Amino acid sequence: MKNDRKRTFMMITIPVLVLFFVFNTLPLIKGFMYSFTNFKGYGSYDFVGLRNYIDLFQDARVGKSYLFTFKFALVGTLIVNVLSLIMALALNNKIRFKSALRGIYFIPNILGGLVIGYIFGFIFTYILPAAGKAAGIGFLSNSWLSSTKWAWFAIVVVAAWQSIAMNTIIYISGLQTVPEDVYEAGSIDGATGWTKFKSLTFPLIMPFFSINMVLCMKNFLMAFDQIVALTNGGPAQSTESISYLIYKNGMDGGQFGFQSANAVLFFVVIVLISVFQLTVLGKKEEQL
Amino acid sequence: MKKTSTVEKTNWPITILLIIGCLTVFFPLYMAVIIAFKKPSEMTNDIAGALAFPSSWGFENFREAMEVTDFWNSLGNSLLISISTVLLAIIIHSLAGYAIGRNKAKSKFYNLAYLYIVSGMFVPFAILMMPLVKQTAQMGIGNWVGVIVLYVVFYMPMNLMLYSGYLTNIPVALEEAARVDGASTWRTYWSIIFPNMKPMHATVAVLTALSVWNDVMTPLVIMSGTAKNTLPLAQLNFQTQFGTNYNLAFASYLLALIPILIFYLVCQKQILNGVVNGAVK
């Protein structure tokens, strides 16, 4: 009987591990190997040692894509978390039509990033400039998407529109874990408004803040769909995210080896950021 | 005394602000709908004209968009890939969650297996993408089959975590009772554990379905040689055919959004619960 149990567990686990190895670890190892070659994606190739990695740090386009991705992810995460906290506090209030409103505000999250990107692309190209001209606001009367200064922010807006929905319901579920008597005790001590939020609510939903920071940051760092739909990396390569550049030059641009090195670097960066976030936020949680 | 009054009273200012705020959700969708129904000759550059209703509500654009993007085939491919992935995820990931989750506390091997798979969550698709294109082509699965296999692997870390976490709520004693009756571990799993994990199946199904349905990158790189499209991929691949005919393009976008909107209307509660469970656990 005991053996049957052990054998069954093994017979499940081994195939699962093999499957995971073949389609996750193996390509990871291959990608790592390609990063030391000058492989174009076709034909023969040679090992070039660390050449690709040295070139990465001197390549202006790669540098630009890292700057764009970090700026995009930091600003996006900040905007999304501030707005979704406000939304969650509002939606958790004593309001009418609560479930209908929560349902509506979640819609952006279920829709695909690509199609949403196309729809917003039209709005940024035609509707917003038309509105800007009608209202006489010069800043709006040209399309953001054709401006090297503002195109990145247009992408932030679209990505945020979708992520806020997700982060809001996570914050709402966090707010619901705060027991009512904490507020009662707080109101006796005279805590209202901002003080109440800062010293009572926020510390209690800290774990949810951590989840949201990590999730949101990761999604923004890996942005792809919205960029394909809105700008294709332009204008003047000002909105190329790292994923987009790896896809574009690695798959079509004959830089398979070089972009593999870029992907390895990106992987290391993602791991470092996640570890950093988890330790910092974990410490904050412990203190509370 | 003050307490009871604040608990009962509806906060109307916030309710009204929130209702007005819904415009930010509906405006892009409204634009999509009216543009999809307009004719190219109705497209104007002034703001009032751009926001106005179309002169008539004909379905001509939709009919044409369906033809141009091969809508029914794309929809069929999307459904095939999403449904197969969800079913496989529920079967394979729950089994893995059971085998690994039940043993990881007391066995080093299973604990390592758990950490090995879960750490896969940090591997960005960008690094796997190029080797996987070559690998799936060599294996003869550079098509929708390969896409499904890859999804089953990519969502494994997350789903394994969810299932093995949920299993801690199901007492081992439940299985032992069945074992005393002489049932094998395999049968016990299907008759007792699997049905008991029903709430987690719903969460896994919702999370996996939403991500798979909307994913562009995996089918884009894996299926590029097959002339087959998923619904989002069709929007990307037919951009050139749409040209500057925005009305046709928007009819097509709307058609691509409708299935998931219907799914959301029908299963809103399960979707919201699923998303929260998935993120918080």
CA dist A133 and A144 (Å) reads: 14
Q: Which CATH number fits domain B69-237: 1.10.3720.10, 3.40.50.720, 1.20.1330.10, 1.10.510.10?
A: 1.10.3720.10
Which residues lie closer than 8 Å to B46 by C-beta, 6 or more apart? A130, A134
Angle between helices B198-214 and B71-88 (to 10 degrees): 150
Name the helix (H) or strand (E) containing A139: none
Tell me the range of A49-58, B86-95, B113-122, B271-280 where mean pLDDT is highest.
Answer: B86-95
Which chain B residues have a beta carbon less than 8 Å from that of A16?
92, 95-96, 99-100, 117, 156
Q: What percentage of chain B has pLDDT greater than the value 70?
A: 97
For residue B222, give the chain A residue with the closest CA: A251
- The pLDDT of B29-38, averaged and rounded, is 93
Average pLDDT, chain B: 90
Mutate to test the interface with B, among A4, A114, A125 (most CBs of B within 10 A): A114
How many whole angstroms separate alpha carbon B182 and alpha carbon A277? Answer: 49
Mean pLDDT value of segment B22-33: 94
Residue A11 domain flag: no
Mean pLDDT of B25-41: 92
The pLDDT confidence band at residue B4, using thresholds 50, 70 and 90, is very low
Q: What is the pLDDT of residue B1?
A: 38
Question: What per-residue confidence (pLDDT) applies to A170?
Answer: 92
Nearest-Cα distance to chain B for A158, in Å, is: 11
Instruction: Please count the residue pairs, one from chain A and one from chain B, whose beta carbons lie less than 8 angstroms apart.
Output: 250
Contact, B156 vs B208, CB < 8 A? Answer: no
Contacts of A112 in chain B (CB under 8 A): 213-214, 216, 232, 256-257, 260
Question: Residues B116-139: what's their mean pLDDT?
Answer: 92
A118 inside domain: yes
Query: What pLDDT, on a 0 to 100 scale, did the predictor assign at position A183?
Result: 78
Report the 10 Å Cβ neighbour count for A200. 18
10-residue mean pLDDT profile of chain A (288 residues): values are 85 96 96 93 88 93 95 96 94 89 94 94 90 82 88 95 93 88 77 80 88 90 92 90 93 90 94 87 70
ipTM of the complex: 0.89
Closest partner CB to B124 (pick from A5, A166, A270): A270
Q: Please state the domain extents for chain B.
A: 69-237
In this structure, the number of other CB atoms found within 10 A of the CB of residue B173 comes to 7
Subunit contact B127:A266, Cβ cutoff 8 A: yes
What are the residues whose beta carbons fall under 8 Å from the beta carbon of A232, sequence distance 6 or more? none
Q: Which B residues in the span 127-146 are in contact with A, Cβ-Cβ below 8 Å?
A: 127-135
Give the number of other CB atoms < 10 A from CB of residue B183: 17
Which pLDDT value is given to residue B5? 45
CATH number at residue A204: 1.10.3720.10
Q: Is the pLDDT of residue B259 over 90?
A: yes
User: Which chain B residues are within 8 Å of A161, Cβ to Cβ?
Assistant: 24, 28
Backbone angles phi, psi at B55, to 5 degrees: -70, -30
Domain holding A140, by residue range, is 59-287
**Residue A54 belongs to a domain:** no
The secondary structure of residue B53, as a DSSP letter, is P
Q: Is residue B168 predicted with pLDDT exceeding 60?
A: yes
A37 in helix, strand or coil? strand
- Pairwise CB contact (< 8 Å): B185 & A8: yes
Q: Is B112 on the interface with A (CB under 8 A)?
A: no
Q: Which of A26, A115, A161 sits opposite B253 (nearest CB)?
A: A115
* Chain B residue whose CA is closest to A273: B122
**pLDDT for the residue numbered A93:** 86
Contact A246, A233 (CB under 8 A): no
Over residues B213-222, the mean pLDDT reads 93
Q: Does any domain span residue A15?
A: no
Q: Which residue is listed with tokens 């901002």? A: A194
On chain A, the residues whose CB falls within 8 A of the CB of B96 are 12-13, 16
Instruction: Check CB contact of B1 with chain A, cutoff 8 Å.
Output: no
How far is Cα of residue A187 from the mean position of the Cα atoms in its chain? 37
CA R_g for chain A: 24
A21: in domain: no
**CA A52/CA A34 separation, integer angstroms:** 10
The number of distinct structural domains making up chain A is: 1
Which amino acid makes up residue B50? A
Which of A31, A251, A264 lies nearest to residue B221, judging by beta carbons?
A251
**Cα(A68)–Cα(A64) distance, rounded to whole angstroms?**
6
CA distance B196 to chain A (A): 18
Q: Which is more confident, B48 or B2?
A: B48
Q: How far is B198 from chain A (nearest CA, A)?
A: 20
How big, in percent rounded to 5, are the helix, strand and coil portions of chain A? Answer: 80, 0, 20
In a domain, A16, yes or no: no
Mean pLDDT lowest for which of A113-117, A254-258, B156-160, B179-183? Answer: B179-183
Selecting from B124, B149, B264 the residue whose C-beta is nearest the C-beta of A23 gives B149
**Cα end-to-end distance, chain A, whole Å:** 48
Q: Is B114 on the interface with A (CB under 8 A)?
A: no
Structure confidence at residue B51 (pLDDT) = 85
> Is B100 at the interface with chain A, CB within 8 A?
yes
Q: What is the pLDDT of residue A287?
A: 63
What does the pLDDT read at residue B10? 85
